[in-house]
Structure 1
Amino acid sequence: MMNRRTFLETASASACFTILPRHVLGGSGVVPPSDKITVAHIGTGTQGLREMPRLMAIPEIQIVAVCDPSKHAIGYRDWGTDDLLNELRTVLDKPEWMAGTEGTVPGGRDVAKNFVETYYATELPGGAFKGCSSYADFRELLDKEKDVDAVKIMTPDHLHGIISIASMKRGKHVIMHKPIANRLQEARMVIDTARETRVATHFMPWEANGSMDQVMAWINGGVIGDLREIHNWTNRPVWPQYTSVPTASTPVPEGFDWDLWLGPEAYRPYSPDYTNMVFRGWYDFGGGSMADMGHYSLWTVFNALELGSPISVEPTLTHTCGLKDGIAFTVNNDFSFPTASTVRFKYPASGKRSAVDLVWYDGGMRPPTPEELEIDNEELPIEGMMFVGSKGKILAGFLLEDPHLILQGRMPKDLVAPVRVRGQRGVVPSGMRQWIAAVRGGPQSPSCFLNAGPISEAVNLYAVALRTGKKLLYDGQSQKVTNVAEADKYLSREYRKGWDPRAQ
């Protein structure tokens, strides 16, 4: 029987792939089919499709299978009606691609398969290519596509851990979007599995992390005194976060396997208000604003400051009130993230670093405007990062862009500030290059799962603190909350039968 790699070599014997049209890529990268890393793309919703061309632009990689519980482009939501469709048409250099679907947000495995095959066909004689398989269930994919080298996981958050563990146990290398898992203990299982199997892993937020070089030069040089606080704020959420559980009876869309989408989570009736872009706002399915954006801004901060486990996590959050029979009440919401919140993490002293607080803000919340800015009638931007020391502050963009000092008084004339180092957003991804080298036998890349333990712990504790609404005292050694008994149940999940990753 012809395996996947033999098929690719045969289908491509007389052609070289230019992974993107030349007007988009600016050149060609020719890699023999036998040397390509074959990838199964798991998750083909709007974000999966939006990210897909970036992967395909790498000459060493070829997508050979797609997987999603949704077959058709039905019911998808996005931030614009035809924005994604037009993006994909531009990549293909085919303005007529999917003609007649205007007004319908693209998504689902049929659209993904069509896009992959159209993309790779552009450089083949006759313009035909049929080398992409399609699956609803990732488990069937892993059973049948045994010669696939790697998977890329672009599903809702609650499936990340399950799929990555199953893939790594089968020897597949893994690329995954954030978060590693939306439960703390499951995230630890993912990292432990990566360590045990030694497959090459790439956690995608690495590519967006800015540089801490400038900030650390000022901190280590004593320019702002002892570092005391780090503040990071975002305008997220930019999606609905619901104040009640869906109750309307809604038919499951044609070609959508609702049971597969639920995966490890408890069964409930289908609602479009759980799926697609809005999954992020549900504790069961998402990770909230910090999981969505905090990996991009804070992973490099965790590494530079050697932040380990926090000793406490303290939430401040919005609540919702309702009326029943004319009587006002506060909604007991442990199902959806709040509209806005701040969460303060306390980290103990480590090495030469003093104890430091990390404060996360979302939903439009920001720290108070520093007095140094008020003097000039300035205010903080809608998103940003600030490092507060005993003698001054460092203000930067959300991804550490353009860090600059705001000191108490004037900067001494004999103090020469280090050269500014801007964030690395938009630079050709180095993490993927290092992952490719790791797949081919090199060392693990800095973007591997093994380096994401502390940031994953913080993101999941953020959710637990918000869900309980209480200050948590945390023991990182045992991974237990020591003062709020009900909090520990949110550190893990109860798996539906057949979904426990420890049994896969």
Structure 2
Amino acid sequence: MKKKTVVADSRRKFIRNTALTAAGFFIVPRHVLGRGFVAPSDRLVVAAIGAGGKGADDVNHFFKSGKADIGFLCDVDDRQAVESRKNFPKAKYYKDFREMLAKEGKSIDAVSVSIPDHQHGVAAMAAMQMNKHVYVQKPMTHDIYEARMLTQAAHKYKVVTQMGNQGASGDGVRQLQDWYNAGTIGDVHTIYCYTDRPIWPQGVVRPGNTSPIPAGLDFDLWLGTAPKKEYFEGILPFNWRGWWDYGTGALGDMACHIMAPAFAVMGLGYPTSAECSVATKYIENWNKAYYPESGPIASHITLRFKGEKGKPDVELHWMDGGIQPSRPEELGANEEMGDGGNGVIFLGTKGKMMAGTYGVNPQLLPTSRTKEVKVPQTVARVNGGEDGHYAAWVEAAIAGYGSEKAKNLSSNFDIAGPLTESVLMGNLAIRSYDIRKPKGKDDFDYPGRFIKLLWDGPNMKITNFDEANQFVKRTYREGWSM
């Protein structure tokens, strides 16, 4: 694989540096290359940061596009990388993405980042600074500041970007857009997004006991930007999501999927305010439990967005932990709302519509209208739908920054950045709630009144509660920077 990537790199340099005329450049005709031959310049050499779990699934999708070579694999946990190393035996393997980029940068065209949330920002930025196109799993980053920096970096370094919320490329989202564009439900004023997550421990205290670090895992490297803390059994490979040091809770896991249709349909930007209520546990003597390191067992977030061009303001509700909105009266008693545990509902001045996770199974309400109402197709479909989300990024990266393919990606960072920031605003509201520590064991008013946070989006600042701004940008552990 290394030999092939070197050939590809040399070929690209040759085409780039060889002038045919003062106003043109040299293109190798396909007939010269022979029937069935794919020019090296028409393939993408991908390096995967995160080779197990979702990372393994991602690299398989890139390879299935038919235009990507998996040249390099990187994972801090050898156990998780077994499958990908078996599937791509010629790919060179690393544990530290910084070492991989430093040594192999010249042979890499693009980088996939599919690791715990707290490392997304630093890994993606390191690749972008080397002018590598990036595909980053949702949520795009752990912090609002990181999302803003990556969004700006995409243009600074002229790279093609995509976030891994594959439903953004599905036909369902586009059908919702078509209905809205046709005025079928009028002006949307309220949106409900809900999920049955978390399905991992949250609202719990961090274990006080430590466990031996498993063979093959470099835990210090896994911690990366996070504070230095001891390993405990169960935190890997999945339950890190519930701990603020590493994950972003139910919001980070599902909101980029479930809120994406709302952003696509409404063209939402930064929210103007955020507020929350959370479910807390009770301990002895009727005191409310305080677990500042872990997300809540359930939450209800309300984000408000300013209406554009005379449209009404939009109120977006996020509910997790199994909390759901009231069933629309137009929905039959035995009809499924969303996909059961998850979904999105739009309330407009002339009607309502809903969909499941990823925007699948879009329906007008009452559901009989779904087949009755015919509207023109105003939004182009993505070839391959959700699977095409990966292939579209590969093809756009080959076409290059500024190409129409890159501009038309469903979740490039110009789209994914504001979406991710809004998702993380929910977590900022939750964690601001947790700032109000109990005064004592008999303080039944803890955590006190709920706060409505006023958000200055362009300047990334809470304007009415300065203590909350500590969650906009983390302090990285020494030795790590973005």
TM-score range, shorter chain: 0.7 to 0.9
CA distance in 1, matches of 2:233, 2:51: 17
RMSD (Å), alpha carbons: 2.9
- SS of the counterpart of 1:361? strand
Equivalent of 2:84 in 112, 125, 135? 112
**Match in the other structure for 1:203:** 163
**2:194–2:258 CA contact under 8 A, matched in 1:** no
Give matches, 1:9-24, under 5 Å.
Answer: none
Deviation at 1:406, TM superposition (A): 2.7
Matched residues in 1 for 2:229 and 2:271: separation? 34
Gaps of 5+ in 1: 11-28, 74-106, 118-130
Q: Which residue of 2 aligns with 1:397?
A: 356
In structure 1, the residue matched to 2:154 is 194
Q: Against the structure 1 CA distance between its residues 172 and 399, is the aligned structure 2 distance closer, same or farther, given a 3 Å change threshold? A: closer
2:5 — aligned with what? 5
Whether 1:179 and 2:139 are equivalent positions in the alignment is yes
Equivalent of 1:256 in 197, 211, 217? 217
* 1:373 shift after superposition: 3.1
Corresponding residue SS for 2:69: strand
Q: Please state how far the C-alpha of 1:319 moved relative to its aligned partner.
A: 0.7
Q: Equivalent residue for 2:238?
A: 277
Cα displacement (A) at 1:318: 0.8
Residue identity opposite 2:347 in structure 1: V
What do residues 137-189 of structure 1 show as CA deviations (whole Å, max 9, x unaligned)?
11100111022111111111111100000111112111111111110001111
2:46: which partner in 1? 39
Q: Is the 8 A contact 1:232 1:398 kept in 2?
A: no
Structure 1 residues 184 and 338, CA, compared in 2 at 3 Å: closer, same or farther? same
Q: Do structure 1's residue 474 and structure 2's residue 455 form an aligned pair?
A: yes
Aligned mate of 1:215, from 157, 165, 176 = 176
Alignment CA distance shift 1:332-1:209 (3 Å): farther
Q: Using the aligned pairs only, state the percent identity.
A: 34
Residue 164, structure 1, aligned to residue 124, structure 2: yes
1:440-479 Cα distance to aligned partner (Å, 9 max, x none): 4334242322222220111111111111223311111211
Aligned CA distance change for structure 1 residues 194 and 416 (closer, same or farther; 3 Å): closer
**Alignment of 1:155 onto 2:119:** no
Q: Does 1:299 align with 2:260?
A: yes
The answer to which structure, 1 or 2, has the higher relative contact order (CA under 8 A, 6+ apart) is 2
Q: Which residue of 1 aligns with 2:274?
A: 313
| Cα deviation code 1:23-54 (max 9, x no counterpart) | xxxxxx86355753211111123222233321
- Please give the per-residue CA displacement for 1:333-374, whole angstroms capped at 9, x wherever unaligned: 222111122211111111142101111111111101223336
1:422–1:333 distance in 2 versus 1, CA, 3 Å: farther
Aligned length: 426
Match of 2:108, SS state, is coil
The separation in 2 between residues aligned to 1:48 and 1:197, in whole angstroms, is: 24
CA 1:149–1:304: 2 relative to 1, 3 Å: same
* Inter-partner Cα distance in structure 2 for 1:358 and 1:269: 38
> Equivalences for 1:31-110 in 2 at 5 Å?
31=38, 35-71=42-78, 73=79, 107-108=80-81, 110=82
| Alpha-carbon separation, structure 2, partners of 1:436 and 1:252 | 41
Equivalent residue number for residue 330 of structure 2: 372
Q: What TM-score comes out, normalization by structure 2 length?
A: 0.80
**Contact 1:241 1:281 survives alignment (8 Å):** yes
Deviation at 1:254, TM superposition (A): 1.3
User: What letter is aligned with 1:329?
Assistant: N
- Say whether the 8 Å CA contact 1:334–1:468 is kept in structure 2: no
- The answer on whether the counterparts of 1:202 and 1:435 sit within 8 Å (CA) in structure 2 is no
Letter in 2 for 1:500: S
Q: Distance in 1 between matches of 2:254 and 2:241?
A: 11
Residue 91 (structure 2) aligns with = 132
Does the C-alpha gap of structure 1 residues 111 and 383 become closer, same or farther in structure 2, counting only changes over 3 Å?
closer
Structure 1 residue 417, shift from structure 2 partner: 4.3
Question: What corresponds to 1:363 in structure 2?
Answer: 321
